[in-house]
Amino acid sequence: MAATNLMKPLASLSRFGSLQTRSVSLKAANIPIAKYGGRHTVTMMPGDGIGPEMMGYVKEVFRYAGAPIDFETVLLDPTTDNYDDLYNAISSVKRNGVGIKGNIETKMNRPDIKSRNVEMRNELDLFVNTIHCKSQPGVKTRHDDIDIVIMRQNTEGEYAMLEHESVQGVVESLKITTEPSTERLCRHAFDYARANGRKKVTLIHKANIMKITDGLFLEVAKRVSKDYPEIQHDNMIIDNCCMQLVSNPWQFDVMILTNLYGTIVTNLICGLIGGPGVIAGANIGPRYAVFEPGTRNTGTTLIGKNKANPCAMLNASADMLSHLNLRYHAKLIHDAVWQTINVDMIQTEDLGGQATSMDVVQNVISHIKAAAK
Ligand code: ADP
Ligand code: MG
């Protein structure tokens, strides 16, 4: 592997340094929202795989729900190292304030092409990925009644994208943890716990091995927790956390995780409660927000088969409406999806059912029509 093919390492470190000057407070009032004549414009990035199909369902459901949203659709092309498409998408979200997105494939064997997903989160400063993983009573799984909120670091840590070959045969990857970004992540988690009546915040780490990086993560959380005396705070090593999650998941309430541990644990927990097709996730920063399915799959093998579960993307779209303060429309869609899965038991194959994607969408629409009468 030639070193020249790999990304230049140290020049890009400046983006982490610049965090020092940023405020750690999150004020919703800063969020720019494009709204003309009572309608919002939202950036829609369909992504790869089943993304475009799922976005088609979102548009259909919004039409029946009467959601006052206009979409600005931006296509992304993950196969090139010309990033004009990405910068168009980023400018669009900056203009509109809010986006909804499917996952974009990142080519594994092309170190010269940056991940557009990661680059977008960094450029928009979407420092936390938050996912509320709650068991669906109609979905048969090994464990019932799981209710865990994940707060995943979304812009640094193991995803710094700073890899290089120092000498031939020796490659290095930088894991970057900054105090300001860790502090705002922890404050976000504790503020969420306080606002939502949650009792405990658990920080997940590997500070016995990564003593300095995860050590800082651990220390900052301990310090921040002192400002929230009514909320219990503890920590757990990532490997034990995975074992505890499969044997006794009910002990967890709100979890704070680094970027890499966060994606692994997100997939683990979503797997426990029904897989990739149900749960939505939100990427949040001080100015912008981008909504997407929680496990960020492309589901390439399901393209065009009318089999993919549309609920994760529909739930993401409802969360987006909630973020825009369109609570009536958000509830209409959340309730219709919940009824479809848990009461009518109209479920796609991933949940053990036999329904097609369109059966699910039709059923969701029938609930919306009935409720909106
Ligand atoms: P692939 O891109 O190879 O399909 P992914 O990593 O995107 O794989 O997804 C992991 C697994 O989850 C695959 O088996 C995929 O079929 C499944 N999957 C992803 N999204 C959905 C969905 N919306 N509904 C049902 N199954 C899904
Ligand atoms: Mg995939």
Determine the pLDDT at residue 33: 65
> Where residue 3 falls among pLDDT bands split at 50, 70, 90?
very low
Determine the pLDDT at residue 266: 98
Ligand number nearest to the C-alpha of 293 = 1
Query: What does the alpha-carbon distance between residue 137 and residue 143 come to, in Å, rounded to a whole number?
Result: 10
CA of 141 to the centre of ligand 1 (A): 18
% of the chain with per-residue pLDDT over 70? 91
* CA nearest to 364, candidates 313, 322, 320: 313
CA of 373 to the centre of ligand 2 (A): 39
Residue 169 pLDDT > 80: yes
Helix axes 357-372, 51-65, angle to 10 degrees: 20
Its CATH architecture, for the domain 25-130+278-373, is: 3-Layer(aba) Sandwich (3.40)
CA of 303 to the centre of ligand 1 (A): 10
Residue 8 pLDDT > 70: no
List, for residues 188-232, the tens digit of each pLDDT value: 999 999 999 999 999 999 999 999 999 999 999 999 999 999 999
Query: What does the alpha-carbon distance between residue 323 and residue 317 come to, in Å, rounded to a whole number?
Result: 10
Q: Where are the beta strands (DSSP E) in the chain?
A: 35-36, 39-45, 69-73, 98-101, 128-134, 147-153, 163-167, 170-173, 200-205, 232-237, 254-257, 280-284, 289-293
Query: What does the alpha-carbon distance between residue 28 and residue 289 come to, in Å, rounded to a whole number?
Result: 11
Task: For the chain, give every domain's residue range.
Answer: 25-130+278-373, 142-272
Determine the pLDDT at residue 17: 58
Read off the pLDDT of each residue in 257-261 and give the average, rounded to a whole number.
Answer: 98
Q: Residues near ligand 1 with C-beta < 6 Å?
A: 49-50, 276-277, 297-302, 308-309, 312, 350
Read off the pLDDT of each residue in 127-155 and give the average, rounded to a whole number.
Answer: 97
Pocket of ligand 1, candidates 279, 296, 302, 305: which has the most ligand atoms within 8 Å of its Cβ, to mutate?
Answer: 302
Query: What does the alpha-carbon distance between residue 340 and residue 321 come to, in Å, rounded to a whole number?
Result: 19
Query: What does the alpha-carbon distance between residue 326 and residue 318 come to, in Å, rounded to a whole number?
Result: 9
CA of 147 to the centre of ligand 1 (A): 23
Task: Tell me the pairing of strands 128-134 and 147-153.
Answer: antiparallel
Q: Which residue has the tokens 């009318």?
A: 306
Same fold, 25-130+278-373 and 142-272: yes
* Superfamily covering domain 142-272: Isopropylmalate Dehydrogenase (3.40.718.10)
Instruction: Identify the residue whose C-alpha is closest to ligand 1 atom 18.
Output: 299
Instruction: Identify the residue whose C-alpha is closest to ligand 1 atom 25.
Output: 308
